[in-house]
Structure 1
Amino acid sequence: MLGWALTFLIVALVAAALGFTGIAGTASSIAQILFVVFLVLFLVAMIARAVRGQPPV
C-alpha cells in the first residue's frame, strides 16, 4: 500500500514538472488517500497486536 502511495507521488511530481496539472492533481490526491489508508491499517494492526498481548516489533 505504501508502495502505491509512493508511486502515485512520483507520478504526480513528474506530471507537475511537465506541466500536466490535471494529472498531477489527481495523482497527488490518490497518493494522499492511499497514504492515509496505509497509516490507518498500520495503526489498526499495531493495536490488534497489543490487544493480543504481543510486544511491538
Structure 2
Amino acid sequence: MGITRKLLSVSTLGAVDFRSDKERTAAYTKATKKQAKKQTKLMKQQMKIQKKLDG
C-alpha cells in the first residue's frame, strides 16, 4: 500500500515516486497475465474458425 509514500508523493508534487518498485512490478505482472489470457482466448477463437474453414 504505502500510504506514507503516496502522501509524500502528493505533498512533494511528485518528487517522490507514487508507487514503490514492488507495486510497479505487481501491476506489470498483473497486466502481462491479463494480456496473455486475452491473447490465448483470441488464438483459440482463430483456431476454431480455421478448423471450420478447412473442414
Give a deviation string over 1:28-48, Cα, whole Å, max 9, x none. 000000000010001100000
SS class of match (2:39): helix
Task: Give the corresponding residue for 2:31.
Answer: 30
Size of the aligned set, in residue pairs, is: 36
Listed as ranges, the gaps of 5+ residues in structure 2 are 1-19
In the alignment, what sits opposite 1:48? 49
List, as ranges, runs of 4+ consecutive aligned residues in structure 1 with deviation greater than 4 Å. none
Structure 1 stretches lacking a partner, 5+ long: 1-18
After TM superposition, the score normalised by the length of structure 2 is 0.60
Partner of 1:15: none
Letter in 2 for 1:32: K
Structure number with higher helix proportion: 1
TM-score, normalized by length of structure 1?
0.58
Q: Which has the higher contact order (CA 8 A, sep 6+)?
A: 1
Q: Secondary structure at the match of 1:52?
A: helix
Query: Bigger radius of gyration, 1 or 2?
Result: 2
The alignment yields a C-alpha RMSD, in angstroms, of 1.5
